[in-house]
Amino acid sequence: MSPKDLISIYDLTPAVIEGILERAEYLKKNPVQTVLQGKSIGLLFTKLSTRTRVSFQVGMHQLGGNAIFLSDREIQLKRGESIADTGRVLSRYLDALVVRTYSHNDLTELAACSSIPVINGLTDLLHPCQVLSDMFTIRERFGRVNGIKVVYLGDGANNMANSWIYGASKMGMKLVIATPPAYQPDEEIINRGKTAASVGPGCVVVENDPGKAVRDADVLYTDVWVSMGQEEEAKERLEVLKPYQLNQSLLKQANKDAIVMHCLPAHREEEISAEAIDGPQSVVLDQAENRLHVQKAILMHLLGM
């Protein structure tokens, strides 16, 4: 996509990513600014949200701007107005648009038809804002992201795993996707990650044995096993993915100073044990808070501030 947008981490250079992380560090220490005074963004959501919605709304307020929530139930998209017309019209009112929806193709079509920056707040394919924030959290804890080993446990074919493949590859991280054969990442995503890694030492490995995967890990990461729209598959998913639960047993096999991460919402005792997510090695609440700081940095980057 155009550099004006944030659709995928794949489209960002390592220098741009590092710049976003550095700016987020500054904004965490200096949260209230006026750099976006007079600017307005729209939040066009067809999926439920807690962290994405609140962090962008509060972030724009702290930067001196305004955020308008646009539920698909409340605008004319619900009545058949085209994506193209929606993008063209909203571009006349807003300075940027955050979109959280199911179809990645709908997002890219909207971005192509909009003259303002479009930010991917989540699609079924990718969740770039979350992984950028996660990298910031890792950087806070370890002082770097390059060379850090992240083990992603669970569904290796979902939007979080896909975005981690791109993010780790771009930033020279070691990523192990620990997943059963039926839930491995798409081969095209893996190949694109390898292409991105050609500029650095990033490494992506798929491993079916969770115990083997977590050896020497710095970060153990997981996400829900049943995402919105997958409820009919819940019973099968929970059974197949059960050995990949992030728990104390796996955590003990990682590095002693390894951290536990989860992008939330969490289903305790499914993809993660209560002991792990609420324990002393968990940085899950820091991770959630950092969505605010990183998304402010993203807005400043895209709006040229």
Q: Which residues are annotated as catalytic? A: 100, 127, 130, 223, 263, 291
**Burial letters for 195-212: b for 16+ Cβ neighbours within 10 Å, e otherwise?**
ebbeeeebbbebbbebee
Closest to 220 in 3D by CA, of 276, 148, 152: 152
Q: In the chain, where do the E strands start and end? A: 40-45, 66-71, 96-100, 118-122, 149-153, 174-178, 203-207, 219-222, 259-262
Chain-centroid distance, C-alpha 134: 7
Strand 40-45 relative to strand 259-262, pairing: unpaired
Pairwise CA distance, residues 169 & 175, whole Å:
8
Pairwise CA distance, residues 69 & 212, whole Å:
44
The CB-side HSE value for 189 (13 A sphere, CA atoms) comes to 24
Pairwise CA distance, residues 66 & 97, whole Å:
12
Pairwise CA distance, residues 122 & 107, whole Å:
9
What is the torsion angle, in degrees rounded to the nearest 10, for the CA atoms of residue 238, residue 244, residue 250 and residue 255? -140
